[in-house]
Amino acid sequence: MTGKADALVGRALIACIARRQDEAIDRVLSLGLLRPLIESGRYHRVLNLVHLALDGRTGVEEELGTGLKRYYLHQVGHHLRAVEDLSTLARTLDSAGVPWLLVKGPVLSEVMYERSDLRVYNDLDVVIARAAFPDAIDVLRETGFELLDRNWDLIRREGRAQLHLSLRLGTVADVHHHLLNRAVVRDSLALPMDELFDRARIVKVGSVAVRTLESVDTLLHLCIHAALAGGQLLLWLKDVERVVASDAPPWDDVVRRARSWRAGALVAVVLRRARDELGAAVPAWVLRDLFASGLRAAVSAAVDRAWPPDRAGAGINGASLWAQIVRDGWGATASAFALRTSRPLLKATGRLDSDEDWAHPHHHGGPDGDEIETDPSPYLREVADSDASADPEA
């Protein structure tokens, strides 16, 4: 497509996400650009919103319109199954006395969005207090939930804080003992998990009462999660816009807490993109205080102009790299840059596995010819030991 066509498709996609009428949608249809709009919606994980914006319009090719409706109905069915699986999971954890939270996914679709069919998700994100995590995994497995992870060498080597279980109706639960999966990322920030549990609130997802993050913690978690993944998916920016609109966070607390987590710049990048792309009501002074540096703010503005989220595609670019590596200090930013840019080289040379390899054990031997670990018990013992030895003042 030409630059003008890209801009038009991006504008139409934003209109679909914002659920507003815009002539750009009609122009996309009249110019035969529906397929690029759908491809962009697929990349940004907002095809349900595209379907709802186009449903009943003239000019929608029948095959593409039917495909969009099929996708939408599939996602509605997935949500119903996930809520039923959540009910079983909640009963299991609650009866065992396990402290746990539900974040993202159905919490957003049921609580933050106007309707539950507007926000799609793939899995349930469950956070379990680290001290209870090993026993909780044992309880879930004994109850009949299947542990999907196989590559324990990778999981232990990277200090991962997330396992994957298949629930009874096929929903996958990502079960965490920390909101940040990889140890190197956890070490670059300072999320106080005990405080997050202490501040948790109760919400209803379907008929299930669950504990989730308090409103400021919810917003900060969404921003950090989005930034560490590149901060360019419009689904993530829509989540932020919805939380700002529905929860009305106290901005002084947002700034203070983000900076205490060493995540001020990460949060600022995503908040500004949500404001600029989707109209999130973020005050200018909040961004200024979170960036805490005119140069950081200027770099962020420049990369967003060069690589706007509504025209982002697969692969890394300057804006996604900047979101992943920016930290509250330039030294920490340089360290994050070095770690991030080294990963493709390590993967290419076989010294680091793909992020998707948690479910696929290696069949070759380790460095000394030994078979790579496939038993979860050593990993679970390490989690228990790390909790027992944790400094409560750290």
Flag the least confident range among 247-261, 276-290, 313-327, 339-353: 339-353
Cβ neighbors of 69 (< 8 A, separation 6 or more) are 51, 55
Strand partners, 123: 172
Q: Where are the domains of the chain?
A: 1-60, 79-213+356-394, 214-328
Q: What count of Cα atoms within 13 Å lies in the side-chain half-sphere of residue 63?
A: 1
Confidence at residue 112, expressed as pLDDT on a 0 to 100 scale: 96
Considering the segment(s) 79-213+356-394 as one domain, its CATH architecture is: 2-Layer Sandwich (3.30)
3 state DSSP class of 81: helix
Q: What is the pLDDT of residues 134-186, one digit of tens each?
A: 999 999 999 999 999 998 988 998 999 999 999 999 999 999 999 999 999 99
For residue 170, give the DSSP letter.
S
Q: What is the C-alpha separation between 347 and 314, in angstroms, rounded?
A: 18
The closest of 115, 95, 119 to 105, measured between CA atoms, is 119
Q: Where does the pLDDT of residue 312 fall: very low under 50, low under 70, confident under 90, or very high at 90 and above?
A: confident
Q: What is the pLDDT of residues 318-334, one digit of tens each?
A: 999 999 999 999 999 99
Q: Where does the pLDDT of residue 354 fall: very low under 50, low under 70, confident under 90, or very high at 90 and above?
A: low
Q: Where does the pLDDT of residue 363 fall: very low under 50, low under 70, confident under 90, or very high at 90 and above?
A: very low
Q: What is the C-alpha separation between 156 and 148, in angstroms, rounded?
A: 15
**pLDDT above 70 covers what percent of the chain?**
90
Cβ neighbors of 389 (< 8 A, separation 6 or more) are none
Cβ neighbors of 360 (< 8 A, separation 6 or more) are 150, 151
Q: Where are the alpha helices (DSSP H) in 144-200?
A: 152-157, 183-188, 193-199
Average pLDDT, the chain: 90
The closest of 101, 114, 106 to 85, measured between CA atoms, is 106
Number of other residues whose CB lies within 10 A of the CB of residue 224: 22
Q: What is the C-alpha separation between 255 and 364, in angstroms, rounded?
A: 48
Confidence at residue 84, expressed as pLDDT on a 0 to 100 scale: 97
Cβ neighbors of 347 (< 8 A, separation 6 or more) are 353, 354
Residue pair 125/104 in contact by the 8 Å Cβ criterion: yes
Does 347 have pLDDT greater than 80?
no
Helix (H) or strand (E) holding 20: none
Does 253 have pLDDT greater than 90?
yes
Q: What is the C-alpha separation between 365 and 342, in angstroms, rounded?
A: 24
Kind of pairing between the strands at 100-103 and 123-128: antiparallel
Q: What is the pLDDT of residues 199-236, one digit of tens each?
A: 999 999 999 999 999 999 999 999 999 999 999 999 99
Confidence at residue 367, expressed as pLDDT on a 0 to 100 scale: 45
Q: What is the C-alpha separation between 294 and 143, in angstroms, rounded?
A: 54
The dihedrals phi and psi of 173, each to the nearest 5 degrees, come to -105, 120
